[in-house]
Every structure is written in structure tokens, then in C-alpha cells.
């Protein structure tokens, strides 16, 4: 008897508990129906880009630049690199470098040491040059077309390349000179809109004779510019190593698809 009453009590208690749970459930549902709140966080990521330009407005073969050169010949040639990345996504600084490839008329790298030395002697940087990435200019120390031209001693007073660049001895070869942009502070950052000319003038010394001209022959001075983002790297050294790897990867992909 006692057990029966106890069981009824338990059942009754469970029923009440179930009813309370039902009431609570209904109560919660009713609250959600009228008092709702939602929050979300939306993060927008813009894709960065990097673009450099390489121009030399003071070099115009169609007007005779580089044609029929002779001892004493001088002409402006201003290969200039510029960070032309759009600023719509903010700053996109980069590390840049330029390569001077000394080649014959077919574009094949020159290997003759004497010929290479003559070609390097011609390349000079004049700090008084006023040209830019988009504009032609003039210079006071090495004037284009000056008569009678410049002696070797005069040319050797001027550097081969702009001091804002540094020759990369590790990456350079006898026929390709790799020049890393260092900037005024030596950190090598080229900001959006920043530009730098590598050299300004090609000049043949007045002392050269037929022997030097014959050795020089027809030739090409090929300039290339490369750059990699500055963000995400500890410094220029790490960034340029990554650039090397990227270029090797691209070259491998190109040869694999050929």
C-alpha cells in the first residue's frame, strides 16, 4: 500500500516536473519570438598588388641613339625604375633591383673579357642629370654630344651606377651586373611613386682607336628591373632571397610547359 502511494507520488511529481519544463520551454519560446538579437562580424580583405615600371625617355634608337658610335661619342640613356603600384589599398612598398646584361647584337651574353671591360667603361652616372621616369633631361658633367667628347680620365671620375644602388657581388657575373636599390637610408625601400635612375650616360673615350671599336663591335646593353613586396619580410636580404626563389619557380614552370 505504502509502495503504491509512493509510486503515485513519484509519478505525480514527475508529471509536475514535466509540466514545469513544458511551461519553461513555452516561456522561452515566447521570449525568442519577440526579443531577438543577432550580431555578426564581417572582415573585408582587399587583395594587394605590386607593379613597377622601367622607362628610359632619353633613349631613342629611332632618332639615331646608339647608331654608328665612335671615339668621343656620348648619349643620354637613363633606365629608371619606379614603383607605380596603385595607392587605393594603402602603402605597397617594395624592394627593387636592376640587372645590366652585356650582350652582343643577337642578345647573347658577351664572354670576352676585353670586350666586357670596354662596355663597362662606357656606362656612367652623372648626379647632375635632371631627367626622370617620364621626362628627358640634361647633365652638366657628361653632356650628350659634346665635341670633342670625353677622355678616359674624365669618365673615370664618375661612378658607373647611381650610388643609391649597390652592386650585388653574390648575384653578379662577368656579363650581368645585379644592382640592388638601397635608397638614401640604405634600407632599400621603394615606396609608391618612388623612382631611381640606374645610370645616365653612355660615352666612348676619345682615346679609343680602331682596335677598341673593332673589339667592341655591335652590342646591346639590356636592363631589367625586378621587385618584390617589402611587407612580410624582416629586411631586404630575406626579400631578395624569396624573389630569387620565385623567379626560379617561374622559370621552371615555363620550361616545363614548353
Domain positions in the chain are 52-235
Long-range contacts of 40-43 (CB under 8 A, 24+ apart): none
The number of CA neighbours under 13 Å toward the Cβ of 163 is 6
Q: How far apart are CA 227 and CA 220, in angstroms?
A: 23
Q: Which of 169, 167, 165 is nearest to 184 (CA)?
A: 165
CATH class of 52-235: mainly beta
Would you say residue 64 has pLDDT above 80?
Answer: yes
Indicate the pTM of the whole model: 0.81
Whose cell is 662577368? That residue is 174
Would you say residue 35 has pLDDT above 70?
Answer: no
Confidence bin at 49 (pLDDT 50/70/90): confident
Least confident segment among 45-54, 97-106, 161-170: 45-54
Amino acid at each position: 500500500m505504502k509502495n503504491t502511494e509512493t509510486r503515485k507520488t513519484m509519478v505525480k511529481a514527475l508529471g509536475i516536473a514535466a509540466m514545469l519544463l513544458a511551461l519553461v520551454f513555452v516561456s522561452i519560446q515566447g521570449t525568442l519570438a519577440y526579443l531577438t538579437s543577432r550580431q555578426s562580424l564581417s572582415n573585408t580583405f582587399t587583395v594587394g598588388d605590386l607593379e613597377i615600371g622601367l622607362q628610359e625617355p632619353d633613349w631613342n634608337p629611332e632618332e639615331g641613339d646608339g647608331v654608328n658610335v665612335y671615339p668621343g661619342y656620348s648619349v643620354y640613356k637613363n633606365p629608371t625604375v619606379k614603383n607605380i603600384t596603385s595607392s587605393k589599398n594603402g602603402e605597397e612598398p617594395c624592394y627593387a633591383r636592376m640587372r645590366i646584361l652585356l650582350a652582343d647584337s643577337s642578345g647573347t651574353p658577351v664572354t670576352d673579357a676585353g670586350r666586357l671591360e670596354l662596355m663597362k667603361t662606357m656606362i656612367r652616372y652623372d648626379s647632375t642629370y635632371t631627367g626622370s621616369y617620364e621626362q628627358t633631361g640634361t647633365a652638366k658633367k657628361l653632356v650628350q654630344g659634346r665635341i670633342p667628347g670625353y677622355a678616359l680620365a674624365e669618365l673615370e671620375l664618375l661612378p658607373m651606377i647611381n650610388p643609391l644602388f649597390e652592386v650585388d657581388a653574390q648575384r653578379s657575373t662577368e656579363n650581368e651586373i645585379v644592382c640592388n636599390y638601397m635608397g638614401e637610408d640604405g634600407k632599400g625601400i621603394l615606396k609608391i611613386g618612388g623612382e631611381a635612375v640606374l645610370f645616365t650616360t653612355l660615352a666612348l673615350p676619345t682615346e679609343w682607336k680602331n682596335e677598341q671599336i673593332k673589339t667592341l663591335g655591335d652590342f646591346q646593353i639590356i636592363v631589367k628591373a625586378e621587385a618584390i613586396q617589402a611587407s612580410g619580410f624582416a629586411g631586404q636580404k630575406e626579400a631578395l632571397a624569396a624573389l630569387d626563389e620565385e623567379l626560379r619557380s617561374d622559370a621552371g614552370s615555363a620550361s616545363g610547359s614548353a
